[in-house]
A = this chain, B = another copy of it.
Amino acid sequence: MHALIIGAAGMIGRKLTAALAREGLGGSPVARLTLADVVAPAAPAGFAGRIDPVEIDIGAEGAAARLVADRPDAIFHLAAIVSGEAEDDFDKGYRINLDGTRWLYEAVRAIGGGYRPRVVFASSIAVFGAPFPPRIGDDFFTTPRTSYGTQKAIGELLLNDYSRRGIFDGVGIRLPTICIRPGAPNKAASGFFSGILREPLVGQPAVLPVDEDVRHWHASPRAAVGFLTRAATMDTDALGHRRVLNMPGLSATVAEQIEALRRVAGDRAVALIRREPDAKIAAMVAGWAQDFAPERALSLGFRAESSFDEIIRAHIEDELGGRLEAWE
């Protein structure tokens, strides 16, 4: 089993890399990992197989050919310019998120000769745009209100067409907002959903730019890695011609996030959240999905957390060594 991860230096990419190195994929060991990103990804600790880190710009036509030349069995396409940056830089967003995805698919097509890898495309709930029904069903239409969401929706359409043509065996998964994102904030406009939990858990202040009644759709990094490995190993016959799935998640308001933080880490953590309304972020968030009924994905065995307490505890286990440090 040879797995290629594009976007391997990103937060989810690193966690997926570690999981594949540690656990293999679908019960089989992974013998080889090709890890691609704009900066060469680090090798996972203690992996006995072959590692090929590749520094690459997937927005350049022809670049992806290098990545697929050795015919990886599974391709995880996680690389993207995130929502805030794609909104600020029109050309960069289209070049990486649209062209980069298309050139990857074309590189697989160019190999031919019976090569038909599993391609897992990390899409996003940003493909949806307000107004929404109370819960978004599996057949709700894609009317993104960001360029990022537009580019992801196009990647999904291409994934379906290339799969239908037999060029590869694609699965698209629409990830909820990942919460709690570890590490430093990125440029995603959704970053505060993590920040208001992550920073107070280690005694640092955090900024809340929207109202507490804002409702959103979340899953942990741990759940996201589970979605990706399941998408890579599932029987795609069950998908028919509709190869993109809304992933499970947890619908919660900011107030519910904060109350979970209070239960897990106490009032002094909550007191570190500072309200600083930001009209631009509030306007973007107002166009985002709030709740889903992801029935197809649930019936296919995809699972997420069922409470924010669980999401916070997963973060403490995975990122903070299993316990909250004492801090003033």
Chain A residues with a Cβ under 8 A of chain B: 90, 129, 139-145, 147, 150, 153-154, 157-158, 160-161, 164-165, 241-242, 287
* Inter-subunit contact A141/B141 (CB<8 Å): yes
Report yes or no: A150 in contact with B145, Cβ–Cβ below 8 A: no
Q: Kindly list 15 other residue pairs between chains A and B, CB separation below 8 angstroms, not including A141-B141, A145-B241, A150-B160.
A: A139-B140, A139-B141, A140-B141, A142-B157, A143-B242, A144-B161, A147-B161, A147-B165, A150-B157, A150-B158, A150-B161, A153-B157, A154-B158, A157-B157, A241-B287
| Inter-chain contacts of A147 with B (CB < 8 A) | 161, 165
Complex CA gap A153/B150 in Å reads: 11
With a cutoff of 8 Å between Cβ atoms, the chain B residues found around residue A153 in the complex are 157
Known contacts being A154-B157, A241-B129, is A164 close to B140, with CB within 8 Å?
Answer: no
9 A-B contact pairs sorted by A residue (CB < 8 Å): A90-B165, A139-B140, A140-B141, A145-B241, A147-B161, A147-B165, A150-B160, A154-B154, A154-B158
Contacts of A140 in B (CB 8 A): 139, 141
Chain B residues within 8 Å of A242, by CB:
129, 143
How many chain copies?
Answer: 2
- Residues in B neighbouring A143, C-beta threshold 8 A: 160, 241-242
Cα distance, A141 to B133, chains bound together (Å): 14
Q: Name the B residues within 8 Å of A142 (CB-CB).
A: 141-142, 157
Q: Give Cα distance in the complex from A139 to B143, angstroms.
A: 9
Determine how close the nearest CB of chain B comes to the CB of A125; give it in whole angstroms.
14
How many angstroms from the CA of A75 to the CA of B135 in the assembled complex? 38
In the complex the two chains form, what is the Cα distance from A142 to B140 in whole Å?
9
Inter-chain contacts of A161 with B (CB < 8 A): 144, 147, 150
From B139, B144, B157, A160 is in contact (CB under 8 Å) with: B144
Complex contacts, A90 vs chain B, CB 8 Å: 165
- Which chain B positions have C-beta within 8 A of A150? 157-158, 160-161
Q: Report yes or no: A145 in contact with B165, Cβ–Cβ below 8 A.
A: no
Q: Which residue of B lies closest to A244 (CB)?
A: B143
Which 10 A-B residue pairings sit nearest by Cβ, starting from the closest?
A: A150-B161, A141-B141, A139-B141, A150-B157, A154-B154, A143-B242, A153-B157, A147-B161, A145-B241, A154-B157
| Bound CA–CA A50/B41 (angstroms) | 59
The CA-CA distance from A158 to B165 in the complex, in Å, is: 23
Among A144, A154, A158, A165, find the residue whose CB has the most chain B CB atoms closer than 10 A.
A154
Which residues of the other chain, B, contact A241 by a CB distance below 8 angstroms?
Answer: 129, 143, 145, 287
A144 touches B165 (CB 8 A): no
Please indicate the chain B residues that have their CB under 8 angstroms from the CB of A164 in the complex: 145
Q: With A and B bound together, what is the CA distance between A144 and B145 in angstroms?
A: 21
Interface centre among A144, A150, A287 (most CB of B within 10 A): A150
Distance in angstroms between the alpha carbons of A157 and B151 in the assembled complex: 8
A56 to chain B, nearest CB (A): 23
With both beta carbons as reference points, the residue of chain B lying nearest to A167 in the complex is identified as B90
Collect the chain B residues with CB atoms within 8 Å of residue A160's CB. Answer: 143-144, 150
Closest to A129 in B: B241
A165 to B148, CA, bound (A): 13
